[in-house]
Amino acid sequence: MTALWVAAALIASAAQTARNATQASLTRAIGTVGATQVRFLFGLPFALLFLLLVRSFGAEPIPALTPRALGFTTLGALAQIGATALMLLTMKQRSFAVTTAWIKTEPVLVALIAAIVLGDPLTLPALLAIAIATAGVLLMSVKPGAGLAMWREAGPALTGLLAGALFGASAIGFRGGITSLETGGFLIRATTTLALSLALQTAILLVWLALFDRAALRASFGVWRSSLGAGFLGAFASQFWFIGFSLTSAANIRTLALVEVIFAQAVSRFVFRQAVSKRQLLGMAVIMLGVGLLLRNQP
């Protein structure tokens, strides 16, 4: 199963790199809340399609919801809405690299909280691997001499760290929702939870926007091509995140997800022809060291 969840996390990371770029451009066009709801509203039809395909080609019925599964999924859905909004808000105020450094403190928080709440296994070697991989992200993202200045900026630092904490809470909520379904294999449980979470998120944001920001709602339909692309990429990435959550701990998935930073650097280097510094190369090496140690300690 290790190879399967590793593949799922890598596919999700690649899709999320593309989704983040699309969604960040939408923020400038339709605002933070408008861009936040795009990944959910325009992603829901794709999630329902994924569920239909899994149900049609598999022999398993859609699992019955349990109160525990609904509770955990709702927690994950609400946390992801807040995390996405805070991430986009932070990106408007600071660079992508600095925002990434704040948000990618997430895996350490996920490991500790998931061990307490879900009983996910957490060994000392695994925690060390998570810490090393996270340090690699910080090394890549923060320029020498900029660390103190970054932390003095209380507003963006707070929103970035809070976004990371909420992304961690969403991962724990979604894994809790998947594992609380009492029937079905990993694929049908993951896809059912994805469809449920996007339905909840879409309903919540539609009500919010209808009451408080109808202009942003109308604007998202005005740029429907970009919105549809972001929605598909978001649903596609989430499908594989949820498959990963159904197979192993949230901490394992979110730690391996740090390779997303390396994917972003690769796009910068080979697509946009931007130089990669020695510090960034060292950071990539540290990330891969941490990920390698994590995988080495899998049963």
pLDDT, averaged per 10 consecutive residues of the chain (299 residues), comes to 88 84 73 79 94 89 95 95 83 64 73 83 84 80 58 62 87 95 94 97 90 84 84 93 93 83 70 69 82 75
What span, in angstroms and rounded, lies between the C-alpha atoms of 121 and 119?
6
Q: Is 80 exposed, middle or buried (0-12, 13-18, 19+ CB in 10 A)?
A: buried
What is the model's pLDDT at position 87? Answer: 80
What is the model's pLDDT at position 274? Answer: 61
Cβ-contact 254, 9 below 8 angstroms: no
What is the model's pLDDT at position 33? Answer: 75
What is the model's pLDDT at position 24? Answer: 66
What is the model's pLDDT at position 99? Answer: 66
Best CA proximity match to 194, nearest among 238, 224, 133, 132 = 238
Best CA proximity match to 173, nearest among 88, 241, 100 = 241
Kindly report the number of other CB atoms within 10 A of residue 239's CB atom. 25
What is the model's pLDDT at position 149? Answer: 54
